[in-house]
Structure 1
Amino acid sequence: MTDLASVSAGEEAALLALNNEHAVELSWLDAARLRHLLGQAFHVRRAGNVAAFLLAFDQDADYDSPNYLWFRERYPRFVYVDRIVVAAAMRKRGLANRLYEDLFRAARVAGHEQVVCEVNSDPPNPASDAFHAALGFVEVGHASIHGGAKTVRYLARSLLPAP
């Protein structure tokens, strides 16, 4: 089983490469921007030798993403998954599920009641839609961003026990 671990400074180049291989789904980053995001993160974990990673912020991050700001305008407290990616050769091994479960635990420990994210609807990302639905995320809104170049669905998952 691939271990989950914190990201070290020596792994930033590998994170950047994996991110930018999937820039259509995630958004392209340069090294300085990645370093800033890592410094603002509520939670960042990698699987294996950067076979996958997840980067999340809470409501207090210094982050200017229109998607993050959409949540900050509507929710007083949350954990926002900014990006999660699994290398193509490492898919179908449960890494994304493990990264999310690890995040859910950390968010609960910190007293958060919900985890939020967005998924592209145009261009569509049906694999991400199905994955997030299976984890219990539900749609809470949508928006057109970047001058209409992209449309997203906003999703949330409660961390509270079911009544």
Structure 2
Amino acid sequence: MIGSASVATFIEPAKALLLAFEQTDNYDGIHFKWFQSRYDRFLYVDRVVVSEEHRSHGYGRMLYADLFTRAEKLGHNCIVCEVNMQPSNPGSDRFHSAQGFREVGRATIDSGAKAVRYLLWHR
């Protein structure tokens, strides 16, 4: 997965990582496909992981700041992602809202066991 991502950013040693895919990347994730069917050009944030002992140190903000810079260099003005509603993820909601993301859709999957909000950041 790391090898096929257009953006793979790490904060060493094993503190945090971010993976993002361009709309033309060979990736078959259901949420990626949702965005692909609606937007012509975007970077899709598939994964952001911050190790538990390194949370609340600003690593997520650092990863996203780097992503915004990379998006501009790659010619993207849209960055998209999804955030869980069920089970809820209020920390991610607050984080993405503070970064300027807004909701553009919702989906329920896994027979109702999971629900997500689709988010868009636009420069």
TM-score tier, shorter chain, comes to over 0.9
Q: CA deviation at 1:84?
A: 0.2
Residue 55 in structure 1 maps to residue 12 in structure 2: no
Specify the alignment match of 1:23 in structure 2: none
Q: 1:66·1:145 contact (CA, 8 Å) conserved in 2?
A: no
Q: Where do residues 66-85 of structure 1 align in structure 2 (5 Å cutoff)?
A: 66-85=30-49
Match of 1:144 among 97, 108, 119: 108
Q: Give the total of aligned pairs.
A: 123
Q: Which runs of 5+ in 2 are unaligned?
A: none
Task: Please provide the CA RMSD for this pair.
Answer: 0.8
Point out where structure 1 has 5 or more consecutive residues left out of the alignment.
1-36
State whether structure 2 residue 120 is matched by structure 1 residue 156: yes
Answer yes or no: is 1:126 the counterpart of 2:97.
Answer: no
Matched residue type, 2:86: D
Query: Which of 65, 88, 111 pairs up with 2:52?
Result: 88
1:116 alignment partner in structure 2: 80
Partner deviation per Cα, 1:36-75 (whole Å, 9 max, x = no partner): x112211001112011100000001111111000000000
Q: Percent identity?
A: 48
- Name the structure, 1 or 2, with higher relative contact order (CA <8 Å, separation 6+): 2
Alignment TM-score, normalising by the size of structure 2 = 0.97
- Taking structure 1 as the reference length, what is the TM-score of the superposition? 0.73
Larger Rg: 1
Aligned equivalents of 2:109 and 2:11: distance in 1?
A: 30
1:49 counterpart letter in structure 2:
P
Q: Which has the higher helix share?
A: 1
